[in-house]
Structure formats: structure tokens, C-alpha cells
A and B are shown apart, each in its own frame.
Chain A
Amino acid sequence: MTIRRILIFAPLLIIIILLQSYFWVPTYEQQTRGNPNRLDDYIFASGGDASILNPVLSADVPSSRVENLVFDSLIDLDAELRYRGRLATGWQIYEEAYFYVNPSARIPGLDVTVPQAIVDLILDAKQDSRKTDRELQDSLDNIKNILVQPPRNFSEIREVKLEKTTEEKRVIKFEVTAPARIKMVLNRVDQELFTNLGRLLGHDYFSSFHGEYYVSSDVPLGNQRLRAQAQEILPATEHNPVIEFHLRPGVKFHDGHIFDAYDVRFTYQALMNPKNLSPRIADFEPVKSVAVIDPLTVRIVYKRLYSPALGTWSMGILPEHLLNSQALVKEAIRFNKDPGTFTMRDSRLIRNPTGCGPFVFRQWKSDQHIILDRFDDYWEGPPNYKRYIYRIIPDILTQEMEFYAGTIDSYGNPLGGIPPHQVQRLKNDPRYQNFSGTSLSYTYIGYNMRRKPFDDRRVRRALGMAIDVDKIIKYVLYNQGERTTGPFAKQTDFYNHRIKALTYDPQRALKLLKEVGWKRNSAGWLEKDGKKFQFTLITNSGNDIRKAILAIAQDAWKQIGIDVRTDLLEWSVFIQERVDKADFDVLILGWTTPINPDPYQVWHSSQTHPYQLNFVGFQNKQADELIIKIRQEYDHGKQVEYCQRFHELIAREQPYTFLYVPKWTAILDKRIVIKEQGADGKVRYKKIEPTKTGDYTFHFNKWIKLPDEPLFLNEG
């Protein structure tokens, strides 16, 4: 019967054809040990694909990782987390400060208010060797140059919101007759300059300057609104910090074009171009101007004091000659697109980038791999690896299998370590070298301080003391975490290590709560004025660790007589309905901690409105002052001091119960070592050593894989 035979033999035949393909497939052995070229490749596995390979247009983790290899930045962080020059050989930071001459103010010891007289007064005070006022003297000594800018007239067109209720804006023209202004050039940035000058010129000299006397509008505005506008058009005082970068000569882009200051300016312009929708725009909003002084010098002037400014330049620099408007028009015409609407986001270069980093872009297959070749003309010397391959393997278990097979070179990385339960086993595995460090993030329990009884810091402290965080770290995290006490990255100087974490002590917690008036009733629940201590603890679903903490905290608080309910919410519901609207009692969440501290958005009292990040409603005058000072301070030592004081304050107030900083662990094949060529031309091999902050990839360009596991003498 033919039908019967077909029904049986057809599937058999198909299965045989399929199975025989096994004999054609190269085994792992052939791919790794049998393939000498494999030693020249570094293969990295990532869970997600990059989106856009252009540092101005994207800021997601996978894209940034590739961008960092293809593009080079002006500066980056060295092993000690200090800035070092890359495309820049050096830089200076100084300040230009301005204030308007205020004719209505009386200056002590001065009868005339001629601008030159004020300049002379300041210069005299600077010369004065009778150092009566130390801080004023410091500010005066810092003035390098002072001069008068004559009065001038100009007009300015601004968009003004006329009604409070509507979003509508009107275009209004302002006529300005600005008075004389005094300009000072300072050796270093000085945020206290005007406070200190106030001691010389009179305390209300700057605050009594009325900009609205010099401004008129073509449409009548109310007094108040005019004053607000005038304050922006003619600010009484102005700090303009300046960064001047000196660029490295002779650096080449991958296409051979020479890098210069115009590329830096172009990168800034591309970032600020609203058509490009750059996610980094907020970083560069404080920039007033970027000027090319000569092809190797670029000067960036800022509108106001903004200490994170230097760090923002650790972003990759784009090649102007390939992406400027002429180049884009040319590309649009070549591909038959409308040059009017063609932007950098449409350019082919977002998937075929050219930079001046250590690796040249070669190929990108979406959701499969990105291949980079080494750049032989890299200014620091080419990397040892010939290729960098970025493979996309979304599943962590198959990543692990591929690592054991040798077809990827590392398992785990600082941004996503290996799963905590595997750490102990893999650390003891003699075939691999392992690296660990603390993450730049922390997990916390946040209390909504708008609600009672969380407005009392003793209650928050008591709640924190009732939770055994050490046990959470031990059992939930398999010891892959560290306690933390404040909002700064533990690796940095800003973190105040003198602050002790809350100790687990439910008895003292109860005592503290008793002070506030919470007593245990007959059923064992805490009660105050006849009301039970009751609240809801929430977090997002999909995070098993947070879910475990939720249960542990609930239980711990129940032990001291608090009735806690818990709720798990889908991430976007959690954020939109609860966090953004500040509609919660207590929540578990995490923050990433930048290397550069800027606690403004999360902790300043002006950021407590809906949709802002100070959703716990932390308000503290002292903290506000410190936050502003941290934001404006350019001196590292002083900034450290302010941050440590801020950290202390946070630890005292306990707006969050800070739980832990996760630890990451990554493992690498032991055959990967550092290869260095000494001045004598001799090649030396060294073991990979992590930097003080745990970054083991810091010397990545010197890495190479050896055919056999090396034996280092100092290891014995």
C-alpha cells in the first residue's frame, strides 16, 4: 500500500536528512582550540542588542558598550576614579563672573556709584594686606582680572506664559537698557564669590538690584511677571564657569581624517539640535557656548555653576566631516530622501559608525552580533586583540553553556554579574579567574513622609532597626551584597565610611516607637490613640529579590506588632500610579549611583511634586543648602566634604532604610592575560589585576588570550 509507505518513509527520510547535518557542524573543540585565530578574538556576550551606535543619539547600556570601543572621548575616569585626558591632553577650569552695577544701593565707604569706583574699591581691598576677613580675602585673591563693561541697549524676544491656567505662550519683545556691568575673571571657580563680595559692597547690594527698571515689554505684563522675566534677562549676578580643553594632536578617525576642535564643537551642536532628540541633552543644557580657539583648543562656557560639567565630556566625539549638514544633504540625495527632513537619526552612520576609538566598526547583524576590528592607528597604540565580537545571547543559561564551551570569553560583567547562587562554586573553579566588585546601585525601603506616622524620623529609624539586613544579604543574596548607609557610590570618596549602618535591634525599635506613643495592646499590635499601626508595603513584580525582601520586612515588622500588608504591582503601574503620584505608604526600590554626585533630583525639596523623583517627600533646609553647594562646587576636596555632611544628614533623618549594594562577579578564562611591550622591546605577561574600584577591564586594550594557561612566578 503506497499511502502507508509514504506515511512511514517520508518522516523517516526527513529525520535522517536532518540528523546527518550533525556531522557537518564544527565541534566546540574545532572552534576553540582547533582554531588559532580564536586567540585573537575577544567575544563578549550581551543579553540585549544595541539600538543606535551614536553616542549623541543613544544612552542605553548595550549601545554605550559598543560606542565606548568605537568612539573616544575627551576624558575618562582613571583607575582611581579621577579624570584623565584621552582626546584631550589637558584642561583648565576657571570662571568668568559678572554683576550689574546697582545705582540704588549704597556701598559702605563709597560716595559715588561710578562703575570704575567699584572696581577700584575691589582692587584696593585685594591689595589690602590687613587680612580681616579670611573668606573675603580668599575670594579677592582669586580674582585675576576685573573690568567694566559699559551700559548697552538691546532687545530680546521671549516666549512668556501669560495665564497660569493655560499652557499657551505668547511671544513678547523686551527692550532692555542694561546698566554697566562688571566682569571678573577668576583663577578657579568660586561659588562663594558674591556672598563674600557682599561683605565689601553691602549685604543687599546684589539682592536690591531691580532688573525690571531697565526692561520694558511691548505687551503690558503685570509687575510680578515683568520682574520674573527681568531677573532672567538681567540677572544681578552671573557665574560663567569655563572649561578649556587642549586636544591631542594627530589623532585619526577610522577613515583617516584628523580629529580637531571642530569635531568637539560639532558633537555639542548635534546634541543640542532638537531634531536629533538626544537623551543626553539635559547634561549639556547649562552650556552657554562652545568656541573653537584654534584647531587644538576648545573653550566651553557655562551659563551657571554646574559641577558635573566636566564629567559630561566623557562622551564619545562624533566625526564632523561625516555627519554635518552638508554630509547629511549629500547622503539624503544619494538615497533619494528629502534633504529637508533628513536628520542624523536617518543617517546610515547610526548603524555603521566611524569614530576614533580603539576598534573599527565592521559588521552588525541585528540580534546576532556586532563585529569590531582593531584600529591599527589608534593614538595610544592598537589593542592586542584583533577583533572584538559582541554576541547577543538573551538567555543567561545558554550564555553560561557557551562560556564553558569556550565560545564566549567572559561570563558576567560589572553591569550584570553571574547569578549570586553560582558565585561560590565558580570562584573555586580552578579553570577560571574571577573578579568581583560592588555595583553602582543600591536597594532601599522608602517611606512616604507626607503621611503619618512616617513624618517622624524616630519611626523611620525604628522600622529600619527592626529589619535584619545582614540576614537578607546572607540568605537572599547568597552574601553577594554589602550594607550601605547613604546615597553615594561606595567606591567614591563622597561616601562617608564613618557612618555605621543601623543595627538590628527590635527591642530598641520598640522603645523608640514607645517614645512616639506607639504601645502594644492586649493582642500584641502596636497602637496609638486607639489606632493600630498599619500600612501597606509595595514593590514591583518581576524582581524576585525585592519580592523576598517584601516578605522578610513584612514578617520583621509583624514581630514588633505592626500590621503590614504587601502588594506587588506590574512595573509601569507601580511607577505611574503609585510612585509618580506619591500614592504609597512604604515601598522597596533601587537607585543607580553615578560616580559624580548630584543629589538634586532625588533629595531636593523642590522635587517633591508628582512625577518628580523625590517621591518620598524628603524636605530639609540644611540638606537643600548642601545639595546646591554640591552641585556648584568644583573643588574635589570641598565637594567631598559637603557630600559627607549630606550623607551624615541623610543617615540621621533616615528617609530611606538603606539596605544593600549588590556585588557583581565576573569570570574569565585563565588564559587571558595582560601583554605589555616594555621600552626595551621585551614582551612581558602579567596577570589581570582589577583597579582599586574593582574594574578589571580597565587595561582591556592590553589583554590577549594565550594558547595555554600561564604560570605566574609570584603565584608560587
Chain B
Amino acid sequence: MLSFIGRSFIQKIITIIFVSVISFLIIHLAPGEPSQVDPLNPKFTPEVVERFRKEFHLDEPLYKQYLFFYQDLFTGKTVSWKDNQSVLKKIWERFLNSLPLFILGTILTWTLSFPVGIRSAIFRGGLYDRSATFFSYLLISIPGFFFAYILIILVVTRFHVPVLGMETFGISDASWPSVAMDRIWHLLIPSVLGATAGIAVLSRYVRSQMLEVEGQDYVRTAKAKGLPPDTVHYKHALRNALIPFVTMFGLILPGLIGGSVIIESIFSWPGIGRMAYEAILARDYPVILTVNFVSAVLVLVGTFISDILYMVVDPRIRI
């Protein structure tokens, strides 16, 4: 076990170095310049452009820029080119904003997918199963932004309440329970939207996992023993069907920093996805690269956790 952890740790370090080099190259070799260095602005003389490039180290060879960037990152000195604020601080603020969306979205996805998927599997081929399948595919194929607009228009015109932003604008003077509830309301629609595709996909997985397990001999045996159907389904079948899902917990970790560009933009949510997207448009390299680096680390940590979890839940797995 320990040797596995050690080996995997070294592997991940090597991977992260490769990721940092490749992502750095991709971002720097892509065409375009930081929006501060605007070549199409008549007010920008070549000297000014040169000065900006120098300040941002863009005139140095790439390997030096790479070293400069990671040196700054690890000493916590990286600042955004857009507003001169510390990148780590910016990311932390946005992370806290995106976190509730992520948590609620995950809770909704995981709590709703199981009952839906299990029932589909148990009553396979019935009306319920077929309509669940139909709605799953509908939700998977409907574009997120379109669904978001429909929901917003519906809520705003029918219920006359605001849905934009993290809270109703100007509510901060109200009593704390209403502020808290207001925040929950503002979380609801974006996280439902974020969860729909997840529910649709995950419930399909649950269904197929359950079907696979239900076909196993031990389940048939349990049925033959005359156990009540609920015990067969929820004790014998479900527990074994759960194993692959446990490992998926590790893999949702990178979602923490991903955020959703479309949902955050439509709902004016000051989240991390929107910040990263705007940074890409403005070629704010420090922000893009830091977000990239942090998410690479999270992906690796996530896979590591899922490896460990797999070993814990399934004693058959030995390394």
C-alpha cells in the first residue's frame, strides 16, 4: 500500500511537470497578445507596446518566461495583467463563489440519479423506464444555454422574482434568515441547470450497473431463496452496483475549479469559470496558467483518491 502511494506520488509529480510545460507552450504559442498590448489601437506606439512586452517578460525566450512564471507562482507573487491583483487571491475568491453551486449541483445529481436509475432498472422496459430514458436523452441533448433562458424567462415572467447573481440586488440590509434563503433561491436554478445533464447521464449509469448486477447468479439465488424483492434489490444488488460509483467521487474533484462558463455568464454569477474564460479572451496568461495548473493538480489528486477508494471498497483489488 505504502509503496503504491509512493510510486503513484512520483508518477504524478512527473505528470504535473509535463502538464505545466505543455500547457505553458500551448497558451504562449497560440496566436494573440494580452489585451493590454493592443496592436490595433492607434494610441499605442511601438515603444509603448515594447514597454508592455518587457514588463510582462514577453520579450524573453520561452524557457525563461516559464521559469519566471512558476517562480512567481510558487512564491505567491503572480499578479493578473488585467487589474494587478494577486492571482491566487482572485482564484480563491471566485472559488468560494463557485463552491456552493458545485456542492448543490453535486448533491442534486447524486441524490436524484440513484432513485431514478434504480427504479428504471427494476422495472426495465416498462412505461416508467421508457419515459425516464426519453427524458434523460432529452436533457442530455438540450443545449444548456437554451434551457437556461427558458427557465429564466419562465421564472421571471410567471413568478416575478429575480434569479440573477448570487443574491437579490441590495438585499444585504435585510434580516439574516431572509438573506440566507435568498441566497439559496439564487443557487437553485443555476445548480439545477448544472445538475440536469449530470442527472441524466448518471441515472443511465446507475440503471446499467443495476441491470448488470441483477443478472448475476447471486442475485438470482437471493430471489430463489424467497427473500423479499426490496431486500434483493437494495441489499444484494445495489451494494455491489455501487462500487464503480464510489470511485467516481474522486473524479468530481476537478469540477471544483472548473465552474461553468455558460451558466455563470448567463446568471451573472461571479464564479471561477467566467473569470477563466474572460482571462482567456484577454490573454491574461498568469490567470489562465494558474487556473490550469491548479486544475491539473486537482485532477491528479482526484485520480489518486479514486484509486485509494477503489482499494478500500473492493478487497479484490490489490496492487
Q: Which residues of A contact B (CB under 8 A)?
A: 1, 3-4, 7-8, 10-11, 14, 17-29, 31, 43, 48, 51-52, 59-60, 274, 277, 279-283, 285, 345-346, 350-351, 365-369, 389, 391-395, 397-398, 401-402, 405, 407, 570-573, 575-577, 579-580, 598, 601-602, 611, 613
Contact = CB atoms under 8 A, between A and B. Distances in A.
A277 B55 contact: yes
A21 B114 contact: no
Interface residues of B, number: 71
Interface of B: 30-33, 35-36, 39-40, 42-48, 51-52, 55, 82-85, 90, 93, 104, 107-108, 111-112, 114-115, 118, 149, 152-153, 156, 159-162, 164-166, 168-171, 174, 177-178, 181-182, 184-185, 187-188, 228, 230-231, 233-235, 238, 265-268, 270, 274-275, 278
A368 B107 CA distance: 26
Nearest to B274: A367
13 contacts: A3-B235, A22-B161, A23-B181, A280-B43, A391-B169, A401-B153, A405-B160, A570-B31, A572-B30, A573-B31, A575-B40, A580-B39, A601-B42
Contact of A613 (B36, B40, B118, B177): B40
Contacts of A366: 90, 93, 270
Nearest to B156: A401
Contacts of A345: 84
Contacts of A575: 39-40
Given A20-B181, A367-B275, A398-B164, 12 more contacts: A3-B235, A4-B230, A18-B184, A21-B185, A24-B181, A26-B171, A51-B82, A282-B45, A395-B265, A397-B149, A401-B153, A405-B156
Contacts of A580: 39
Contacts of B177: 24
Given A24-B178, A277-B51, A51 B164 contact: no
Contacts of B39: 575, 580, 611
Given A21-B182, A279-B48, A407 B230 contact: no
Contacts of B169: 31, 43, 369, 389, 391, 407
A75 B235 CA distance: 80
B162 A407 contact: yes
Contact of A27 (B93, B108, B161, B230): B161
A8 B274 CA distance: 35
Contacts of A401: 152-153, 156
Nearest to A19: B188
Contacts of A577: 31
Given A31-B162, A398-B152, A14 B36 contact: no
A25 B43 contact: no
Nearest to B271: A367
Nearest to A570: B31
A389 B40 CA distance: 32
A25 B182 contact: yes
A597 to B, nearest CB: 11
Contacts of B51: 274, 277, 281
Nearest to A29: B160
Contacts of A19: 188
A-B complex: 9 closest residue pairs judged by Cβ atoms: A572-B32, A24-B181, A367-B270, A1-B230, A21-B185, A11-B111, A21-B184, A572-B31, A601-B42
Main secondary structure, interface of B, reads helix
A395 B268 contact: yes
A541 B298 CA distance: 34
A22 B185 contact: yes
A613 B83 CA distance: 28
Given A21-B181, A26-B171, A345-B84, A611 B46 contact: yes
A285 to B, nearest CB: 7
B118 A7 contact: yes
Contacts of B33: 572, 576
Contact of A394 (B85, B159, B274): B274
Contacts of A59: 43
A3 B159 contact: no
Contact of A282 (B44, B85, B170): B44
Contact of A283 (B43, B93, B152): B43
Contacts of A407: 162, 169
B130 to A, nearest CB: 21
A369 to B, nearest CB: 7
Contacts of A25: 161-162, 168, 181-182, 185
A281 B50 CA distance: 13
A483 B163 CA distance: 41
Contact of B270 (A277, A285, A346, A368): A368
A280 to B, nearest CB: 7
Given A1-B230, A350-B84, A392 B268 contact: yes
A484 B172 CA distance: 50
B273 to A, nearest CB: 11
Q: Most A CB atoms within 10 A — which of B55, B164, B182? A: B164
A4 B237 CA distance: 13
A26 B51 CA distance: 51
Contacts of A281: 48, 51
Nearest to A13: B111
Q: Most A CB atoms within 10 A — which of B168, B169, B181, B266? A: B169
Contact of A402 (B30, B161, B164, B166): B164
Contacts of A274: 51
Nearest to B187: A18
Contacts of A602: 42
A159 to B, nearest CB: 13
A27 B155 CA distance: 11
